[in-house]
Amino acid sequence: MVRVDGRGGGNSLVRVRGLDKKYQRGSEEIHVLQGLNLDVDAGDFVAFMGPSGSGKTTLLNLLGGLDLPSAGSITVAGDEITHMSAGKLTAWRARHVGFIFQMYNLIPVLTAFQNVELPLLLTKLSKAERSQHVETALQVVGLADRMHHFPRQLSGGQEQRVGIARAIVADPTFLLCDEPTGDLDRKSADEIMDLLGRLVREHGKTVLLVTHDPVAAERASVVLHLNKGVLEEARKVEAS
């Protein structure tokens, strides 16, 4: 259940209250997010849409603990992250957040296997256990046969699938996707959205997606519109 009126129950996986974010640009103060409320339950697939500069990526950064709000609170799985120290927030991200970026952001000198393994190096898993997890994640995204390829040897769609494998390999609490299909052709974009849909349906993942693409947004269970820092409406997508 996704709500933007601040009346969600206490069991929400993600609970945002009165979220404000302001930037100072010279003498001008830019109010990016204004008193935003949001409740997302585990297993939801939420798409955020809105024009450029509406604050979509800023919201995603705040939810992922990459940035701090000017006011308000964010609670994820019972942890309020808005008052965590930088060190704690880093450790929290490693445990709870899987990021998927528009530009894939793979490390070009590492193979697909090594890129996916990156989040696991921070855990206490043995080498054999890490290998098992990485292979499983690459199987889920359908790239088990490309694990020793470098990013330059993969297509854009395959690179993004490696990025998704990296995001899910440590079994995070939720996935934050910033325009994951923005750099892909239609066919590859559909494949990526299919994959995200499967992660929600078959693996019970919670996905929060920022996109400009209405076709991609249609795959989400809920589409939220952000305009001038305010979540204006919540629309449930009919199951096809």
Q: Is 215 in the site for another protein (CB under 8 A)?
A: no
Other beta carbons within 10 angstroms of residue 234's beta carbon come to 15
Q: What angle do CA 11, 169, 1 make, to 5 degrees?
A: 25
Provide the minimum distance between the beta carbon of 153 and another protein in the complex, in angstroms, as a whole number.
Answer: 15
86 binds another protein (CB under 8 A): yes
Tokens 């066919």 correspond to 187
Q: Of 84, 110, 144, 230, which one interacts with another protein (CB under 8 A)? A: 110
Using the rule CB under 8 A, give the single segment among 8-16, 71-79, 106-114, 218-226 that binds another protein.
106-114
Helical (H) or strand (E) element with 210:
strand 207-210
- Residue (of 53, 52, 77, 47) closest to 65 by Cα position: 77
What residues contact 225, with CB distance under 8 A and at least 6 apart? 48, 49, 50, 231, 232, 233, 235
Whole-number Cα distances in Å, 79 to 69, 126, 152: 16, 28, 39
Is 54 a binding residue for another protein by CB under 8 A? The answer is no
Is residue 133 within the footprint of another protein (CB under 8 A)? Answer: no
Q: Should residue 103 be labelled a site residue for another protein when binding is judged by CB under 8 A?
A: yes
* Residue nearer to another protein on the CB measure, 30 or 122: 122
Residue 64 in the binding site for another protein (CB under 8 A): yes
Chain residues binding another protein by CB under 8 A are: 61, 64, 66-67, 86-87, 90-91, 93-95, 99, 101, 103, 105, 107-110, 114, 118-119, 121-122, 127, 166
